[in-house]
Amino acid sequence: MVKTPWRRLLGISCAGIVAVGLFLLTSLLSPPAATAAETNGNWNLDDGEGHRLGVMLFEGSDINAAKGLRLRLNAKSPKLTLDHARPLLLSDGKDQDWSLANRSAELTASAGGAVPATSSQFDAGCLDPTPADGLPLKITVPSSAGDLSFALSPGQVQTLHSLTEACKN
């Protein structure tokens, strides 16, 4: 059977519409990349002034270091180095502040190794008191460019909140 040009055009149009529909449906049903990354403790922070950090939240497993949650920061901006002595500060902007001890010395690859200049690590154990639900948190990172401030997204705040609640139980 020979298709007329109109039938052929109609068939191609229907196939295109179905393909676009499937693409849109897949996009709507799958979580955005940033949200998926936040759920496993890997975050990207940008202060809007050209300073970017990669953040990883994980359970410390080094037998030579204290156990507990760690927050590792990696500078993603050129020439930015992170402080290896000062604590990281969290603030809810109201009346609560937290100071996370600097554990950058745990980053040495071997005994006597140098701490990477673009990385730092902090004790992210139980935050006491637990950050209030719904309040934004600001993180202040000591660096070669001074103290850098980053606003945490609601998903990042919820992750910290959930981990703090879990470690108290």
Do 5 and 69 fall into the same domain? no
pLDDT digits (tens, 9 = 90+) for 17-72: 655 544 444 444 433 333 334 446 789 999 999 999 999 988 876 665 667 888 99
Task: Give the CATH number of the domain where residue 60 resides.
Answer: 2.60.40
Q: How many CA atoms lie within 13 A of 74 on its CB side?
A: 9
Helix (H) or strand (E) holding 71: strand 68-75
Do 2 and 23 fall into the same domain? yes
pLDDT digits (tens, 9 = 90+) for 99-127: 999 999 888 754 467 788 999 999 987 78
Beta bridge partners of 72: 56, 121
Do 74 and 113 fall into the same domain? yes
Do 67 and 150 fall into the same domain? yes
Give the chain's domain count: 2
Ramachandran quadrant class, 45 (left: phi over 0; alpha: psi -120 to 50; beta: rest): beta
Do 82 and 103 fall into the same domain? yes
Q: Residue 122, Cα to own-chain centre: how many angstroms?
A: 14
Do 66 and 25 fall into the same domain? no
> Can you give the residue range of the structural domain that contains 17?
1-30
- Report the C-alpha gap between 7 and 110 in whole angstroms: 71
- Report the C-alpha gap between 99 and 74 in whole angstroms: 19
Do 107 and 145 fall into the same domain? yes
Enter the pTM of the model. 0.70
